[in-house]
């Protein structure tokens, strides 16, 4: 093949067919050679067409997530945590995050929060802890709750 990059599709098909026929392992009849030349010419002509290729739409960039409140304000109250998604107060963010299709890790990553950022309001956690103690959760069967001694005597 020549170094000229402006070969026509006929010339290129002829050169490819000649190379195919020059192979000592190729045994073909005249009809097969003509059919090969025709098919190669069709393929080369198809490749040579200038196709208006539309650029692929760029993958939608993940939108910039702007927090509704600051981290400090979201943790300002012991009774609730303010969501950075919608700015509303919640006792626990777990269910709220699941309605938005997020896990706790994804939420923390989205808003650059530390791993220690709580997902439950402190007052709500204490309330649940006291209720669990009253019910005897966390004790082995047969153990009785230990009574706390009052500090005031």
pLDDT tens digits, 5-42? 566 778 888 888 888 888 888 788 888 888 888 888 88
User: Which structure tokens are listed for 37?
Assistant: 């030349």
DSSP E strand boundaries for the chain: 81-82, 89-90
Say how many C-beta atoms besides its own lie within 10 A of residue 100's C-beta.
Answer: 13
Question: CA–CA separation, 43 vs 101, rounded Å?
Answer: 49
The pLDDT confidence band at residue 148, using thresholds 50, 70 and 90, is low
The pTM (predicted TM-score) of the whole model is 0.52
User: Which structure tokens are listed for 87?
Assistant: 């700015």
Q: Which residues pair with 90 in a beta bridge?
A: 81
Give the highest mean pLDDT range of 24-28, 45-49, 65-69, 138-142: 65-69
Question: CA–CA separation, 57 vs 63, rounded Å?
Answer: 16
Sequence spans of domains, the chain: 10-50, 71-135
Question: CA–CA separation, 46 vs 110, rounded Å?
Answer: 48
For the stretch 67-104, pLDDT in tens is 999 999 999 999 999 999 999 999 999 999 999 999 99
Half-sphere exposure of 50 (CA within 13 A, CB side): 0
**Average pLDDT for the chain:** 83
Best CATH choice for the domain 71-135 from the list 3.30.390.30, 3.40.50.2300, 3.30.420.40, 1.10.10.1550? 1.10.10.1550
Supply φ then ψ for residue 39, to 5 degrees. -70, -40
- The distance of Cα 111 from the centroid of its chain, to the nearest Å, equals 17
Grouping H, G, I as helix, E, B as strand and the rest as coil, residue 81 is strand
């Amino acid at each position: 093949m020549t170094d000229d990059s402006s070969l026509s599709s006929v010339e290129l098909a002829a050169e490819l067919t000649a190379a195919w026929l020059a192979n000592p392992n190729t045994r073909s009849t005249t009809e097969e050679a003509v059919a090969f030349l025709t098919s190669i010419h069709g393929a080369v002509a198809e490749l040579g067409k200038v196709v208006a290729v539309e650029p692929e739409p760029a993958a939608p960039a993940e939108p910039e997530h702007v927090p509704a409140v600051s981290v400090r304000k979201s943790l300002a109250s012991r009774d609730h945590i303010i969501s950075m998604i919608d700015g509303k107060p919640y006792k626990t963010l777990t269910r709220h995050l699941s309605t938005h299709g997020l896990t706790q890790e994804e939420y923390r990553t989205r808003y650059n929060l530390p791993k220690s950022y709580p997902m439950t309001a402190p007052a709500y956690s204490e309330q649940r802890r006291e209720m669990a103690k009253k019910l005897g959760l966390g004790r082995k069967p047969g153990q009785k709750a230990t009574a706390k001694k009052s500090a005031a005597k």
